[in-house]
A and B are shown apart, each in its own frame.
Chain A
Amino acid sequence: MAADEAEKARGKRAALAFAAVALVLGLPLWWKTTETYRASLPYAGISALGSLRFQLTVPVSVVFAKGALPGAQQRRLPFADTQEKESLLNPKTSITSRYETTYRSATVTEQAALATAAVQEADAALLLLQEDSLGALTVYVIPEISPLLPQGVGVYVGKHRSAVMRCPQGPGDVLAAVSARVQQIVQAMSFTTDSITAALSDRVPMDQLGTDTRRPFKSSLGYEITFSLLNPDPKSHDVHWDIEAAVSGYVQPFLDKLGLVANFSVDSQILYYAVLGVSPRFDKASSSFILSALSLPHVINPVEARLGSSATSLYPVLNFLLYVPERVHSPLYIQDKDGAAVGTNAFHSPRWGGIMVYNVDHPAPDKALLPLRVDVDMVRVMEVFLAQLRLLFGISQVPLPEEFLLESPGNKGLTDWELDRLLWTRTVENIATVSTTLTSLAQLLDKIGNIVIKDDVASEVYHAVASAQTAMLELASGHLGSAFQASKEAVISSERAFFDPSLLHLLYFPDDQKFAIYIPLFLPMAVPILLSLVKILREAKQSKKEPTKTD
């Protein structure tokens, strides 16, 4: 009987040893061999990026020319003043505009520059005196009676980063009036809450925004600009365009100026037998063909099949089409919603590009003389395309009071302060994009445990978070240039992390397959171990009860 007891105890110990080996050796081994490698990610940083509290600081210096201020107030110069305005877009997004204004009187050289006859010359002369830094603005205040500005013009906004304004006269605090006016100028030359809100359109409900905000292209690291000449009727028209000269003459200076914002590549092609998707309506009164605004959405799709996507890059494409209508359909005019002919005979499609219809004059209706040689007037075409290009990049006009005079951007098609405006919105947009990308990546990784996170993906995420934080700090300290560069780096890193192919490797591993493999392997082992454990437990319980029984 004792031997039997000993045998029983040995059996118990063996079962326990089995269970222990399975627990101590088997379980960790299985855990180790089937675990997916997940590098640690800065989840705290990412969730901090989720709520964006932008602080945008614009350094402004207001320079008073001699005689602009009454003596008493002149003595208060120089001094500094900071104004802040906060607006809350939604619980997680807010914008604080901060204007750090310094007031000082003009130096001798500035005084001399302001004394020139024409304001354009003054603008050019003052450019040399300013330190060239992105985002920093200078406003020159000249006396009310100064002949520098033409009659009826209160404010002149130059080509660069400066403006000239007349000192408002009147009773009361002149400085307060000046600062109110300066505020208006600075908003026009840097950003307004609306323009920043438009850049954050992804984070704000749609109904708060107008249709115009959906027009500009999303911020991207590069763009492909394609000019296409569509000639649906090569039998009648032999169309030539000097696109090379037009691009180097008009588009390239504009793009050189924008080179800071993104990379651009320009190409052109001629497509024959490419027709629009709708047939135009004949208008007897003007004996011309009409393309109404309602049918324009149907125009692009059939053409797009021929345009061909860019095979060699992943950047978004901006298409500019010059359409020379068929002989039987010309002249062709675009009509707007009110039925009036569109002056430029062109239209644009948001985030896609623009189309211009170029009618050919028909001096010879004689068929024998066909094809007619047509040389496209590139100045006319490029005026329209450049204006559309500006619209598509979101460099649009700011509504300004009557007395403001804007200097034309000149040959480059873009003023310095317009570039600043673009950089302000693009920086904010980039940071918002990074925040969205990283937040969704973190959510995705959190949700799906199978995804492998490699070290290089993790380092990209760290870099993106760090760059986005730097960009926010630089914005707050008023360094627009470095803020933009940092935001660009953050976008590159975050996209690289998000689209890394290694994230997909183990993604498809359904649970039913796992069970199909695990159950046959583990069931025959696990069941006896568990059963004997249960038995041992039951016996232990009984042996505890037994002494009370014997009592």
Chain B
Amino acid sequence: MAWAVAAVLGLLLLLGSPGGCGGSPGPPRDSLREELLLSPLPSGDIAATFQFRARWDSELHREGVSHYRLFPKALGQLISKYLVRELHLSLTQGFWRTRTWGQPYLQAPAGAELWVWFQDSVTDVDKAWKELSNILSGIFCASLNFIDSTNTVTPTASFKPLGLANVTDHHLLRYAVLPREIVCTENLTPWKKLLPCSSKAGLAVLLKAERLFHTSYHSQAVHIRPICRDASCLSVSWELRQTLTVVFDTFSIGQGKRDWSLFKMFSRTVTEACPLASESKIYVDISSKTQENELLEVTPPPLSVHEASVQGDRRTYAVYDLLSPLLFNVSRSLNVQLKWKRPQDSLDLSTPVLHAQRYVSGYGLQTGEISTLIYNTHPYRAFPVILLETVPWYLRLYVHTLVITTKGKENKPSYIHYQPAQDRRRPHLLEMLIQLPANSVTKITIQFERALLKWTEYTPDPNHGFYVSPSVLSALVPSVLAMKAEDAEKSPLFTSLFPSADGSSYFVRLYTEPLLVNLPTPDFSMPYNVICLTCTVVAVCYGSFYNLLTRTFHVEEPSRGGLAKRLANIIRKVRGVPPL
């Protein structure tokens, strides 16, 4: 109705030539790289990890820069408005089983995790953090707006900036986890919308929500950080990594066989690279092939093979470069397949060097105990690990009950930072640096008391229990194999996200299971019971008191009696007894 076509714009604007318009535009200042890594896991499942890296050679914090190309506008505006130095957001469904699946490339805790480093020019960090999480909640359709002071902490040692930073004042850091958050299609769609090629071309075609959520583990993340523009590092570029990791249960999708193909997993195949990407590759981890002599077969044959040492392990990858014209010569679409030559069930379940588990113990609804077990399976090297525990205020921790034992002996942490909770204001924060001896299990226990909540503070399903966010383990793990320092830009995926100190160790961040704790739950019809009870008490006490004061009492003259007496007399007459 209100649509009108300005058919002829009667106004002829005599526009002068603007100053500085001439000259050919320089080379594109932003680039996109897309990667997919398919790695069979020791348990027989398969992990698929997508990574889309957009890099922008621009000073986002400078005033007036607001012309976006590959970098999404929504995130760019956010960074420049709230003066964000680094932003890491992950939304995860399921739990990465480190013991059976091996060391993850980039693990995320179940639920939503957000940690942000702000610029040192931000005056009110808490306000910026609150507004930022609210806006992110709108962008990603997630309940990040539930992040408030009761679940936000400022870790002192665990989360260091991953990008270029000269400020490490931890007051500019905020960290929050929402373990209750459920991740679904509505979170994936806005995430996909941030990709320059959307889900129309390139590897993103495989991102079909229906298949991605039919998996054992689904984790999508956004990492924004400043990086060096070039080797001299005189100016800053911004990097946006969008990553998505899924673990497919091959037994269920392959009818009991461990063979897999792109089509079986995603019900799509790859036909082209994203035309905007400067690099588009699929890596398949075929390390077991070289170790155990042609156990598996990958079709189509890869164009090249890449060897890299990842997380202390030597890995071989079959590489499919989607930008290479040779790849689509034979067939129009690429459907990477992997077949096992003989059914082998005795895959060595080599346990990873560092893994952990956590549980809550105790009985009754008053006290309990949180136990964390950290395993170091390295045969001869000890290494330290930073443990971060965030416990909500309604579990009152008793720090004097903190016990750390390794091999039956007490293990004294070399650094402890403890910030006690304040009711309804902030959670407990416990950070410790613990030395893990070689080939050992370290048990950390701490007791707590369950607090009583106000009846409006309970969640809609209080009998489900209350979540305690996972604890975070950060460690530089010494590698079993000797590694040589490699060009981080060339090796696939995440190796370049975390800084590696040297060739002999690698950085690992692990999250334990989230805990589910039952709190004493009242009967929720209680307020009405209370009303009824007060009513009765008032009626009985007040009523008798009132009667006592206002009534007059005098002796009743015996009268002919009421109906009862007359009835009794009739009965007595019938029975032949004298009347009353």
Interface positions of A (Cβ within 8 A of B): 4, 7-8, 10-12, 14-15, 18, 211-212, 214-215, 226, 234-235, 240, 242-250, 265-270, 272-273, 293, 296-297, 306, 308, 310-312, 334, 336-337, 342-344, 346-351, 371, 375, 378-379, 382-384, 386-388, 390-391, 397, 408-411, 413, 516-517, 520-521, 523-525, 528-529, 532
Complex interface bits, B78-111 against A, C-beta within 8 A gives 1, otherwise 0: 1001000000000000000000000000000000
Whether B363 sits at the interface, judged by CB under 8 Å, is: no
Complex interface bits, B538-579 against A, C-beta within 8 A gives 1, otherwise 0: 110011001101111110000000000000000000000000
Residue of B nearest to A212 (CB): B4
The total of interchain contacts (Cβ-Cβ below 8 angstroms) comes to: 177
With A371-B275, A524-B542 in contact, do A267 and B67 touch (Cβ < 8 Å)?
yes
Tell whether, in the assembled complex, residue B3 and residue A273 are in contact, meaning their CB atoms are under 8 Å apart.
no
Q: Which residues of B contact A306 (CB under 8 A)?
A: 193, 198
Tell whether, in the assembled complex, residue B73 and residue A273 are in contact, meaning their CB atoms are under 8 Å apart.
no
With A242-B21, A312-B81 in contact, do A11 and B15 touch (Cβ < 8 Å)?
no
Complex interface bits, B237-277 against A, C-beta within 8 A gives 1, otherwise 0: 00000000000000000000000000000000000100110
Cα separation A249 to B550 with both chains bound (whole Å): 93
Tell whether, in the assembled complex, residue B550 and residue A334 are in contact, meaning their CB atoms are under 8 Å apart.
no
Whether B9 sits at the interface, judged by CB under 8 Å, is: yes
Tell whether, in the assembled complex, residue B15 and residue A383 are in contact, meaning their CB atoms are under 8 Å apart.
yes
Chain A proximity of B2: nearest CB distance (Å): 5
With A244-B67, A524-B543 in contact, do A293 and B77 touch (Cβ < 8 Å)?
no
Chain B proximity of A9: nearest CB distance (Å): 9
Q: From the candidates B16, B196, B542, B549, name the one contacting A14 in the complex (CB within 8 A).
A: B549
Tell whether, in the assembled complex, residue A348 and residue B6 are in contact, meaning their CB atoms are under 8 Å apart.
yes
**Interface size range of chain B in the complex:** 35 or more
Interface positions of B (Cβ within 8 A of A): 2-21, 25, 66-70, 72-74, 77-78, 81, 135, 138-139, 193, 196-198, 200-201, 272, 275-276, 528, 531-532, 534-535, 538-539, 542-543, 546-547, 549-554
Q: Which residues of B contact A11 (CB under 8 A)?
A: 549-552
Residue of A nearest to B548 (CB): A14
Q: From the candidates A244, A379, A525, name the one contacting B542 in the complex (CB within 8 A).
A: A525
Q: Which residues of A contact B14 (CB under 8 A)?
A: 408, 410
With A350-B4, A523-B535 in contact, do A266 and B21 touch (Cβ < 8 Å)?
no
Cα separation A268 to B67 with both chains bound (whole Å): 5
Cα separation A4 to B551 with both chains bound (whole Å): 11
- 7 nearest CB pairs, A to B: A249-B18, A267-B66, A520-B535, A524-B539, A273-B200, A269-B68, A387-B9
Cα separation A506 to B550 with both chains bound (whole Å): 41
Cα separation A343 to B77 with both chains bound (whole Å): 36
Cα separation A386 to B193 with both chains bound (whole Å): 29
Tell whether, in the assembled complex, residue B7 and residue A336 are in contact, meaning their CB atoms are under 8 Å apart.
yes
Q: A336-B7, A382-B15, A521-B538 are in contact. List 4 more A-B contacts (CB 8 A).
A: A234-B276, A344-B8, A350-B4, A525-B542
Q: Which residues of A contact B78 (CB under 8 A)?
A: 311-312
Cα separation A246 to B197 with both chains bound (whole Å): 26
Q: Which residues of B contact A517 (CB under 8 A)?
A: 531
Chain B proximity of A72: nearest CB distance (Å): 44
Residue of B nearest to A410 (CB): B14
Q: Which residues of B contact A520 (CB under 8 A)?
A: 531-532, 534-535
Chain B proximity of A39: nearest CB distance (Å): 27
Cα separation A248 to B20 with both chains bound (whole Å): 9
Tell whether, in the assembled complex, residue B538 and residue A388 are in contact, meaning their CB atoms are under 8 Å apart.
no
Chain A proximity of B389: nearest CB distance (Å): 33
Q: Pick the most buried of B8, B68, B553: most chain A CB atoms within 10 A of its CB.
A: B68
Q: From the candidates A4, A246, A266, A387, name the one contacting B13 in the complex (CB within 8 A).
A: A387
With A11-B550, A344-B8 in contact, do A350 and B2 touch (Cβ < 8 Å)?
yes
Residue of B nearest to A215 (CB): B4
Tell whether, in the assembled complex, residue A350 and residue B18 are in contact, meaning their CB atoms are under 8 Å apart.
no
Cα separation A348 to B546 with both chains bound (whole Å): 80
Tell whether, in the assembled complex, residue A388 and residue B6 are in contact, meaning their CB atoms are under 8 Å apart.
yes
Tell whether, in the assembled complex, residue A245 and residue B20 are in contact, meaning their CB atoms are under 8 Å apart.
yes
With A14-B550, A310-B77 in contact, do A524 and B535 touch (Cβ < 8 Å)?
yes
Tell whether, in the assembled complex, residue B15 and residue A411 are in contact, meaning their CB atoms are under 8 Å apart.
yes
With A273-B198, A346-B6, A348-B6 in contact, do A379 and B550 touch (Cβ < 8 Å)?
no
Tell whether, in the assembled complex, residue B73 and residue A269 are in contact, meaning their CB atoms are under 8 Å apart.
yes
Chain B proximity of A12: nearest CB distance (Å): 8
Q: From the candidates A245, A311, A410, name the one contacting B77 in the complex (CB within 8 A).
A: A311
Tell whether, in the assembled complex, residue B197 and residue A273 are in contact, meaning their CB atoms are under 8 Å apart.
yes
Residue of B nearest to A409 (CB): B13
Tell whether, in the assembled complex, residue B543 and residue A311 are in contact, meaning their CB atoms are under 8 Å apart.
no
Tell whether, in the assembled complex, residue A343 and residue B66 are in contact, meaning their CB atoms are under 8 Å apart.
no
Q: From the candidates A269, A336, A386, A529, name the one contacting B69 in the complex (CB within 8 A).
A: A269
Chain B proximity of A248: nearest CB distance (Å): 7
Q: Which residues of B contact A350 (CB under 8 A)?
A: 2-4
With A234-B275, A234-B276, A311-B74 in contact, do A413 and B13 touch (Cβ < 8 Å)?
yes
Q: Which residues of B contact A524 (CB under 8 A)?
A: 535, 538-539, 542-543
Tell whether, in the assembled complex, residue B5 and residue A293 are in contact, meaning their CB atoms are under 8 Å apart.
yes
Cα separation A517 to B13 with both chains bound (whole Å): 71
Residue of B nearest to A245 (CB): B21
Residue of A nearest to B77 (CB): A312
Residue of B nearest to A18 (CB): B546
Tell whether, in the assembled complex, residue A388 and residue B9 are in contact, meaning their CB atoms are under 8 Å apart.
yes
Tell whether, in the assembled complex, residue A308 and residue B73 are in contact, meaning their CB atoms are under 8 Å apart.
yes
Tell whether, in the assembled complex, residue A243 and residue B193 are in contact, meaning their CB atoms are under 8 Å apart.
no
Residue of A nearest to B136 (CB): A311
Residue of A nearest to B70 (CB): A270
Cα separation A100 to B157 with both chains bound (whole Å): 73
Q: From the candidates B2, B77, B272, name the one contacting A214 in the complex (CB within 8 A).
A: B2
With A311-B139, A517-B531 in contact, do A245 and B18 touch (Cβ < 8 Å)?
yes
Chain A proximity of B283: nearest CB distance (Å): 24
With A524-B535, A528-B546 in contact, do A347 and B6 touch (Cβ < 8 Å)?
yes
Q: From the candidates B3, B13, B138, B531, name the one contacting A349 in the complex (CB within 8 A).
A: B3
Tell whether, in the assembled complex, residue B196 and residue A378 are in contact, meaning their CB atoms are under 8 Å apart.
no
Tell whether, in the assembled complex, residue A18 and residue B3 are in contact, meaning their CB atoms are under 8 Å apart.
no
Cα separation A388 to B11 with both chains bound (whole Å): 10
Q: Which residues of B contact A378 (CB under 8 A)?
A: 21
Q: Which residues of A contact B77 (CB under 8 A)?
A: 267, 310-312
Q: Which residues of B contact A342 (CB under 8 A)?
A: 5, 7-8
Cα separation A347 to B3 with both chains bound (whole Å): 9
Q: Which residues of B contact A383 (CB under 8 A)?
A: 12-13, 15
Chain A proximity of B310: nearest CB distance (Å): 32
Q: List 9 A-B contacts (CB under 8 A).
A: A7-B552, A214-B2, A234-B275, A308-B74, A312-B77, A336-B5, A346-B6, A348-B4, A382-B15
Residue of A nearest to B189 (CB): A305
Q: Which residues of A contact B81 (CB under 8 A)?
A: 312
Chain B proximity of A486: nearest CB distance (Å): 30
Q: Which residues of B contact A214 (CB under 8 A)?
A: 2
Chain B proximity of A307: nearest CB distance (Å): 9
Cα separation A226 to B77 with both chains bound (whole Å): 12
Tell whether, in the assembled complex, residue A249 and residue B5 are in contact, meaning their CB atoms are under 8 Å apart.
no
Q: From the candidates B5, B66, B74, B138, name the one contacting A268 in the complex (CB within 8 A).
A: B66
Chain A proximity of B186: nearest CB distance (Å): 14
Chain A proximity of B207: nearest CB distance (Å): 14
Cα separation A441 to B138 with both chains bound (whole Å): 29
Q: Which residues of B contact A234 (CB under 8 A)?
A: 197, 201, 275-276
Tell whether, in the assembled complex, residue A242 and residue B25 are in contact, meaning their CB atoms are under 8 Å apart.
yes
Cα separation A264 to B201 with both chains bound (whole Å): 35
Q: From the candidates B20, B74, B196, B546, name the one contacting A272 in the complex (CB within 8 A).
A: B196
Tell whether, in the assembled complex, residue A312 and residue B135 are in contact, meaning their CB atoms are under 8 Å apart.
yes
